[in-house]
Amino acid sequence: MAGVMSSELLKAQEENVTSMCICPDCPSWVECGEKGGFCFETIEKSRCISEENGCICLGCPVAISFGFEYMYYCTKGSAKEQSK
């Protein structure tokens, strides 16, 4: 199927996403051991963040590199989820 990433490629991409992630710098961040990267399709919404206290997603290198245009991935889900 065209456009579908293999599980190995998704895992490698997920590691790249979490290494570039700026979620811990966000005003909505709650420290609880999560890595961030909530914008990526294999990473679920935060289990810890429940209040939206500001968002830096649009300035994130991950969002910029993938062309993601949404905000609050931590509470609303990945770009793939929000685009449905």
Interval 9-60: pLDDT, tens = 988 999 999 999 999 999 999 999 999 999 999 999 999 999 999 999 999 9
**Overall domain count for the chain:** 1
* Residue 13 resides in a domain: no
* Residue 63 resides in a domain: yes
* Residue 49 resides in a domain: yes
Stated pTM of the model:
0.87
* Residue 2 resides in a domain: no
Q: 27: domain range?
A: 23-82
* Residue 37 resides in a domain: yes
Residue pair 48/35 in contact by the 8 Å Cβ criterion = no
* Residue 15 resides in a domain: no
Checking if the pLDDT of 2 tops 60, the result is no
Neighbouring residues of 13: CB distance < 8 A, sequence distance ≥ 6: 5, 40, 42
Distance CA 5, CA 1 (A): 9
For 75, other C-beta atoms within 10 Å of its C-beta total 15
pLDDT of 54-68, one tens digit each?
999 999 999 999 999
